[in-house]
Amino acid sequence: MDSVVSDAARGVSPRVAPRGGEPPVEPEPDETLQPWQTDRTRAPIATKIVVAGGFGVGKTTLVTAVSEITPLQTEALMTEASEEVDDLTATPGKLTTTVAMDFGRLTLDDDLVLYLFGTPGQQRFWFMWDDLVRGAIGAVVMADTRRLKDSFPALDYFESCGLPYVVAVNHFDGSERFEPEDVREALTIPARVPVMIMDARRRISVIETLLALVGHALDETPE
């Protein structure tokens, strides 16, 4: 397990990276074999993206919905002790929480592979963010319109470190829907930052958000 986690932290898929001249490890039965996994002359551009946001906003759901491999998750059961520090008002059915990170992979094209790292949302785990964002080209900051204030720590973090980011509003069933510009005004998001409406459960919706981030990151850091 330690080797898998360390490979993931370096942005390398643990099932395809050969070591010491060994052939690539066979993919799991549920993994679709990508062209670049069988042809070593087609090495893709590996891109790291961070998925951040408040507690229970849907980060694990996003990574799970879009990952072409079985996601690496560090979910732990919620306990009575956590109820004293985690606000479960908007997520009463939530039974688990991410305590380290989520990791997934998405091949957008033959020459572009995204490695997704989901951050833990609770304040007591924020000390890990510096390590998780190292080497990333950008971040998706997820927001829940019922708890917009929970997005401020992530927004402040990426503004302060200068990492390009987009804001993805994840609408939950029963939540009031707002236009992107209304969310921009409520969160005082700069005009240069894309704000998108997204459903973290839908693969195509997540891909659209990731494409918007890649494009924004290229505009912000074209070199």
Give the CA count within 13 Å in the CB-facing half-sphere of 176.
7
Q: List Cβ neighbours of 86 (8 Å cut-off, separation of 6 or more).
A: 55, 78, 97, 122
Structure confidence at residue 156 (pLDDT): 94
Domain hosting 142: range is 2-220
Kindly indicate the confidence band of residue 110, based on its pLDDT and cuts at 50, 70 and 90.
confident
Structure confidence at residue 197 (pLDDT): 95
Rounded Cα–Cα distance for residues 39 and 129 (Å): 34
Residue type, 223: E
Q: What is the number of structural domains in the chain?
A: 1
The per-residue pLDDT of the chain, averaged, comes to: 77
Q: CATH code at 14?
A: 3.40.50.300
Which of 65-69, 94-98, 147-151, 175-179 has the least mean pLDDT? Answer: 94-98
